[in-house]
Amino acid sequence: MSGDRAVVGQNLRKVDGVKLVTGRPAFTDDIHLPGMLIGKILPSPHAHARIKRIDTGKARALPGVHAVLTYKDVPRVPHTTAGQAWPEPSPYDTYLLDNKVRFVGDRVAAVAAETRAIAEKALRLIEVEYEVLPAVLEIEQAMASGVAVIHDEPDSTKIFDREHNIAGYILREIGNVEEGFRASDLIFEREFRTGRQQHCPLEPHVAIAWLDADQRLVIRTSTQVPYHARRQVAMILQIPVSRVHVIKPRIGGGFGGKQEMLLEDITGALALATKRPVKIEFTREEEFYMARSRHPQILRMKMGVKRDGTIVASQLTVLATTGAYGSHSTTVQGNTGSKVLPLYRAEHMRFECHVVYTNTPVAGAFRGYGCPQGFFAQETLVDEIAEELGRDPVEFRRQNMIRLGDIDKLSAQLGEGKEGLPRHIRSCGLPECLDRAAAAVDWDGKRNAAGGPAHLKRGVGMAATMQGSGIAGVDWASAFLKMNEDGSFFLQVGAADVGAGADTVLAQIAAETLGVSLDKVVITSGDTDITPFDVGAYASSTTIISGGAVRKAAEKVRAHVLDMAAKMLDAPVDKLECGDNQVYTICECRKAVSMAELAMHAMYKEKTQIMDGASHFNTDSPPPFCVTFAEVEVDTETGKVRVLHLVTAVDPGTAINPMQAEGQVEGAVAQGLGYALIEELLLDGQGRPRNASFLDYKIFSAKDMPRLTTILVETDEPLGPFGAKSISEVPINGPAPAIANAIYHAVGIRLRKLPIRPEDVLRELREKLPTL
């Protein structure tokens, strides 16, 4: 299928690569505007408090200070910071500035001043008298009667049960799990806990806002969701959408953390107040606790099986915290059920989840979006069941897993904050993923051989996972193409390349469709004045949804090109083909016209701009599949787990750019590895962050990484452009359970809490073998 494709399926260089390797100014902060002020946000020192009095007099009087804003100075508009399609399924529980603070790091006030030092000094001069309220820090505490109510303000909406701090609640069932458990021969039930991982994009959140010559508010920002940010900023600042222009330049990594309108509103408010350009850039410390993180969860997973290995019923009960605000609260947690349970074809499934508020840093979207937690529980439990049944974990999964032609009915019940749509499995590379990954790690050989020096024990483990490709019936995108005199095309998309390579992939899809080389497609993305709408970079949607729009737009433009060529070559359209930067006849006459000649003819003879656009959405979300195999070495004296080899086999549909696809896998695996072993934002007893720096919150470096093997198992997905599904999220799910299962294989202990710290390993080992 790829043999006759010139651009799609090829390992082409990133279209934005040269400017990145030469360090040209391409990121949000790589500009300097005359008169630009520096904005800073005063973070709350308390986890939960009411502002009784706030006096900004001294701060305003400081020379060099141009604005100090508190809740008294700005409109009060309940909203969510979640960058989701309207109407957002997240609670409207957030305010530009409020008279109450709900976590350490919550906004108290904002300042714009001539320098960073003056801005910082001004923050210290703001006098705030707090009425400190009891804080709810523990996830299990949140729903108890008598604890503080975090969102007692009357104007917030869409909160499930504010009296009990419940932001959202989900209960869905297919079949009848109780009946399923009665029909099972064996029942397994375990509790799991997962930590608060932070995105750690190398570029912290940053936004620059100014008024252009027409006094429109321009916001240049590090975002994954330029269009949502525009709509939300307009609503919050109470100005028309047409008065806001959002520009997404190159982005230094997002991973979900920038699917959030986090600085645009306050930076915009300061620009409006000062009539000067204003920049707010999070420091690394601020990024850790004032931005977003992954939802910590407590998961109770229960499965019933027959002796023959058939999984009859699976039930997942989750208690999660969204922190102080409900951004992405029900949607992330909904995924924990809807994308996890259906991997196995149990007749009965039940998912129940409470998402509670706590006075802790706010959780949000993060690569995997609820699945890493769910799969950690499910894949660890499934490993335990296979062990109990005396079955090989690979074969046990093979017996039960979802397959081509299946319809996942849980997804029909559990959509993005509402009823969803059933998922039809139209492509599935899972069996081949299992085969090839098992071979790559030498599964059969290593399962039967454990060992090593006295205190170093080796083992192998695996996990199977899936995700989605866009949100069915919600995500949509559009694209516009126009032809230039030299036979090149401008491609305009609202899609937001955040570093994952969307611009390249989308340009490849256009080039392939139009029969031109990649250099003939010049892409502009993520500028709300120039490019048409796109929901943005999230939910593994860009390749399939934005790519679908590009494919449609390019097909329309191709039709215009062929019409023009038909006139020029005096040949019927059905005898014409595009390729090699020209249009040629496929009859014996062998006539051809170059794209450049055709463009000149269209523009200056026919007086026609060849151009067209298209919108696209899907009513289904085809899952990419993934299996992860890990080989580990456990130091039984220190409890340290060293991962020796991680093999990841992924079915992404067609890989539009295989080299980039591999890069997505490797990056996801690295984050999944950190989630498994070291990464967790820790809070003290007052809700203050304890490790908000790279010195203290470590991420893995090149030296820490194990050997990685990436296998792309390509399938042909009917709903995707050129058969593509998605790839960037699914590989993050597997490392934690695969490593936990490998540790069990090595030393016989089950770790059910993430991250798996050496101290925990050592404790479990001691409990199992007191003589150690």
Partner 1 sequence: MFDLVEAFHRPSSIREALRLLHAGGRRARIVAGGTDVVVRADPEIRSLVDITRLGLTYIKRSGGAWAIGATTTMAQIEHSAALRALAGGILVEAAKGCGSVQLRNMATLGGNLANASPAADTAAPLLVLDAQVVVAGERSRRTLALADFFLKPGETALGKALLVEILIPAPPRGARTAWSFQKLGRTESDISVVNAAAGLQVDGKGVCKWCRIALGAVAPVPLRARAAEALVTGRKLDGSLVEQAAAEAAREASPITDIRATAEYRREMCRVLVKRALAECAARAGCSL
Partner 2 sequence: MRGTSGVLIMKTMQLRLTVNGETRQWTIAPGDLLLDVLRREGCYGVKRGCEKGECGACTVLLDGKPINSCLMFAAQAEGCDILTIEGLAVGDVLDPLQEAFLDHGAVQCGYCTPGMILNAKALLARNPHPSEAEVRETMAGNYCRCTGYLKPVEAVLAAAGRAPAPARSGRKAVKR
Task: Name which of partner 2, partner 1, none residue 758 binds, using a CB cut-off of 5 to 8 Å depending on partner kind.
Answer: partner 1
- Peptide bond preceding 87 in cis form (omega within 30 of 0): yes
428 closest CA partner among 461, 396, 398, 390: 398
Task: Name which of partner 1, partner 2, none residue 647 binds, using a CB cut-off of 5 to 8 Å depending on partner kind.
Answer: none
- 148/699 with CB nearer partner 1: 699
Count of chain residues binding partner 2 (CB under 8 A): 71
**Site for partner 2 contains 655 (CB under 8 A):** yes
Stretch that binds partner 2, among 249-257, 332-340, 392-400, 588-596 (CB under 8 A): 249-257
Q: Binding partner 2 by CB under 8 A: which of 94, 297, 660, 733?
A: 660
Subset of 477-516 contacting partner 1 (CB under 8 A): none
- 337/731 with CB nearer partner 2: 731
**Site for partner 2 contains 251 (CB under 8 A):** yes
Is 135 in a helix, a strand, or coil? coil
**What's the rounded Cα separation, in Å, for the pair 32 and 633?**
50
Whole-Å CA distances, 308 to 381, 382, 396: 17, 14, 10
Stretch that binds partner 2, among 189-197, 376-384, 614-622, 669-677 (CB under 8 A): 669-677
**Site for partner 1 contains 758 (CB under 8 A):** yes
**What's the rounded Cα separation, in Å, for the pair 598 and 594?**
6
**What's the rounded Cα separation, in Å, for the pair 160 and 168?**
5
Token pair in block for residue 138: 């523990």
Q: How many residues does the chain have?
A: 772
Stretch that binds partner 1, among 166-174, 487-495, 625-633, 695-703 (CB under 8 A): 695-703
Q: Binding partner 2 by CB under 8 A: which of 10, 141, 176, 594?
A: 10
- 92/700 with CB nearer partner 1: 700
List b or e across 277-301, with b for residues whose CB sees 16 or more CB atoms inside 10 angstroms: bbbbbbeeebbbbbbbbbbbbbbeb
499 closest CA partner among 108, 38, 9, 16: 16
Task: Name which of partner 2, partner 1, none residue 708 binds, using a CB cut-off of 5 to 8 Å depending on partner kind.
Answer: partner 2
Task: Name which of partner 1, partner 2, none residue 712 binds, using a CB cut-off of 5 to 8 Å depending on partner kind.
Answer: partner 2
Q: Binding partner 1 by CB under 8 A: which of 140, 163, 519, 759?
A: 759
Pairing status of strand 592-594 against strand 707-712: unpaired
- 287/612 with CB nearer partner 2: 287
Q: Please list the helix, strand and coil fractions of the chain in percent, rounded to the nearest 5, in that order.
A: 30, 25, 45
Whole-Å CA distances, 689 to 2, 47, 200, 682, 740: 50, 11, 15, 6, 27
**Site for partner 1 contains 695 (CB under 8 A):** yes
- Residues 671-690: x/- map of binding to partner 1 (CB under 8 A)? -------x---x-------x
Subset of 486-505 contacting partner 2 (CB under 8 A): 498-501
Subset of 712-731 contacting partner 2 (CB under 8 A): 712-714
- 565/678 with CB nearer partner 1: 678
**Site for partner 2 contains 61 (CB under 8 A):** no
Query: 338 and 351 in contact (C-beta within 8 Å)?
Result: yes
**Site for partner 1 contains 703 (CB under 8 A):** yes
- Which amino acid appears at position 718 of this protein? P
Task: Name which of partner 2, partner 1, none residue 666 binds, using a CB cut-off of 5 to 8 Å depending on partner kind.
Answer: partner 2
**What's the rounded Cα separation, in Å, for the pair 113 and 122?**
8
**Site for partner 1 contains 772 (CB under 8 A):** no
Query: 56 and 50 in contact (C-beta within 8 Å)?
Result: no
Subset of 110-129 contacting partner 1 (CB under 8 A): 115-117
- Write down the least CB distance from residue 355 to partner 2, Å: 26
**Site for partner 2 contains 252 (CB under 8 A):** yes
Stretch that binds partner 1, among 66-74, 329-337, 727-735, 754-762 (CB under 8 A): 754-762
**Site for partner 1 contains 640 (CB under 8 A):** yes
Stretch that binds partner 1, among 21-29, 364-372, 382-390, 701-709 (CB under 8 A): 701-709
Task: Name which of partner 1, partner 2, none residue 762 binds, using a CB cut-off of 5 to 8 Å depending on partner kind.
Answer: partner 1
Q: Binding partner 2 by CB under 8 A: which of 12, 355, 471, 676?
A: 12
Q: Which long-range contacts (CB under 8 A, 24 or more apart) does 423-427 make?
A: 423/342, 423/468, 423/472, 423/620, 423/621, 423/622, 423/623, 424/620, 425/622, 425/623, 426/622, 426/717, 426/718, 426/719, 427/622, 427/651, 427/653, 427/715, 427/716, 427/717, 427/718, 427/723, 427/725
**Site for partner 1 contains 704 (CB under 8 A):** yes
Residues 6+ apart with CB under 8 A from 668: 367, 368, 728, 729, 730, 731, 732
**What's the rounded Cα separation, in Å, for the pair 611 and 599?**
11
- Which amino acid appears at position 448 of this protein? N
Q: Binding partner 1 by CB under 8 A: which of 698, 708, 748, 753?
A: 698
Q: Binding partner 2 by CB under 8 A: which of 66, 102, 107, 199?
A: 199
Residues 6+ apart with CB under 8 A from 146: none
Residues at the contact surface with partner 1, assessed by CB under 8 A? 115-117, 637-638, 640, 678, 682, 690-691, 695-696, 698, 700-701, 703-704, 758-759, 762
